[in-house]
Amino acid sequence: MGLAIGNALIRQGAHVGFADLKPAPTDLSDGPGEHFYSEGDLTDESFVKQAIDSTSSRFGGLDYLINTAGVLWFDRDMSVTEMDMNVWDQVMAINVKSFALTARHSVPHLKRRGGGAMVHFSSIDATGGDVPTQDAYGASKAAVIRLAKSLAIQFAADDIRSNIILPGGTMTPMQDRWMGDEDAQKRAAGYVPLGRLGTTDDMADACLFLLSDAARYITGVELPVDGGITARV
């Protein structure tokens, strides 16, 4: 999702700083915007500060923050009555602490620009329980909502907006259980009122709307991008 959003921004002429634990992808957009890639651990505050400061310095400031980092470990994340609590700590660090750190070090740059916008990716899984469960993932994504709303209130006077996207089932490497299994994809799509799984472009379009001036009077909201799943009673 982060790659799709970054590429969409680059195609519209924005300069984008990426940060991830993995090496730079080979399919970054070739413009007209520029990109800057930092490889490192987003749970490491020193790395986060360096990546954000370097991006701001390279491009003359910072206007937006998009938080998409996350893990969903089906093989290790389960009920809190059974799971290894070290896994709980790891999921919380990656899914929540990284967002806190990026916000911590982005806000001063956004203030210097006279405002800006943040979009944080949670999940529809944050809104209720399920079986089988991934308790650490669900709890971490609920924490993202609370953090994002707090940031919206704290920095509204600085004209910094903070919103949340709640993706439904989306075809990304995180959902590799569906990759190459058309029957599994059809079963999953069968739960979606719009009749299909989401794409990274669906998420990018929603994110760019929330970043844009068209959303200038929107802050602190949760936007489900889920094909209608959360509308079910």
Count helices and strands (H / E) in the chain.
Answer: 7, 6
Exposure letters 124-146 (e unless 16+ CB within 10 A, then b): bbbbeeeeebbbbbbbbbbbbbe
- Could you read off the pLDDT of 65-109 as tens digits, one per residue? 999 999 999 899 999 999 999 999 999 999 999 999 999 999 999
pLDDT higher than 80, residue 176: no
Does the annotation mark 64 as catalytic? no
% of residues, the chain, pLDDT over 90: 86
- Could you read off the pLDDT of 29-65 as tens digits, one per residue? 999 999 999 999 999 999 999 999 999 999 999 999 9
Q: What is the CATH number of domain 40-231?
A: 3.40.50.720
Residue 182's pLDDT is what?
80
Query: Dihedral, CA atoms, 109, 93, 122, 75, nearest 10 degrees?
Result: 150
Residue 179's pLDDT is what?
62
- The answer to whether residues 230 and 166 touch, using CB atoms and an 8 Å cutoff, is yes
Cα separations in angstroms, 63 against 75, 106, 117, 146: 38, 9, 7, 22
Against a cut of 0.75, is the pTM above it?
A: yes
Of residues 37, 137, 191, 217, which has the active-site annotation? Answer: 137
